[in-house]
Amino acid sequence: MVNNFWILVASGLLSGLLAGLFGIGGGMVLVPLLITLNYTPVQAVATSSLAIIITSISGSWQNWRMGYLDLNRVILLGFPALITAQIGVYIATLLPDYLLLTYFGILLIINIFLGNFNHQLLGKKTSNNSLNFSVTIARLATGGTAGFLAGLFGIGGGAIMVPLQMLLLNEPIKIAIQTSLGVIVITAISSTIGHSITGNVLFGVGLIVGVGGLIGAQISTRFLPKLPDQVVRFCFYGLLTILAIYTFWKAWNYYQWQL
């Protein structure tokens, strides 16, 4: 772990930058990077959850200080996530390594399309974005989906929470991102507790990555929103594409080893 110290810090820094900018936990970056450092997929998922706690608290604290965080919205979405995160943890411990990585790679590809969908929503009037769903059902679906993904893949769930809030709850993009980051605190804590019981959390690694994420989240919540949207989207989608290809390659390797 000592030899990988600066790699872990840099990984956390990158995840924190993404967390503050997009309202995500950063696990989509952390999990593939931890696997690169020869941790098992389930260890990477579990340890990512721990690091995300620190990252999301950092970004949410900054948002709260700036008056941009509505705790009522966070609690209403976070409650169902507490339950579904444990379901995700349970399934993650049952899946073979190659299947867990394959599903994670598919999630990365889905997030690229969700990001494009997000961008399309921004171009429409807010009043036309919402579907006719019960607010209660919409919140249960949004928070529950985020919690499940957090437990299963070691991510915050924000990449799907943001577009769902915009589509089902008619939330503006900035409020959706800020609320998402707050809910991720809850999903990450629930997921980490579940993975800790199974003994898959590497606490030293998670804390190092989390400190890097803390710094990154502070930077992104203050400065990165000033960057041109096109540049940010191009970098984000490009990163997801590279990570997806790498994840599928690792999944194939694990599959061959298990034959």
pLDDT tens figures, 236-248 = 778 778 888 999 9
What gap in Å lies between CA 205 and CA 12, rounded to an integer?
A: 10
What gap in Å lies between CA 250 and CA 232, rounded to an integer?
A: 27
Question: Domain locations in the chain?
Answer: 5-258
Rounded average pLDDT over 99-114: 86
Rounded to 10 deg, the angle between the 158-168 and 97-122 helix axes is 40
Residues 73-94 have pLDDT tens digits of: 899 899 999 899 999 999 999 9
Question: Residue 127's pLDDT is what?
Answer: 46
Question: Residue 200's pLDDT is what?
Answer: 94
Residue reference for tokens 């952390």: 30
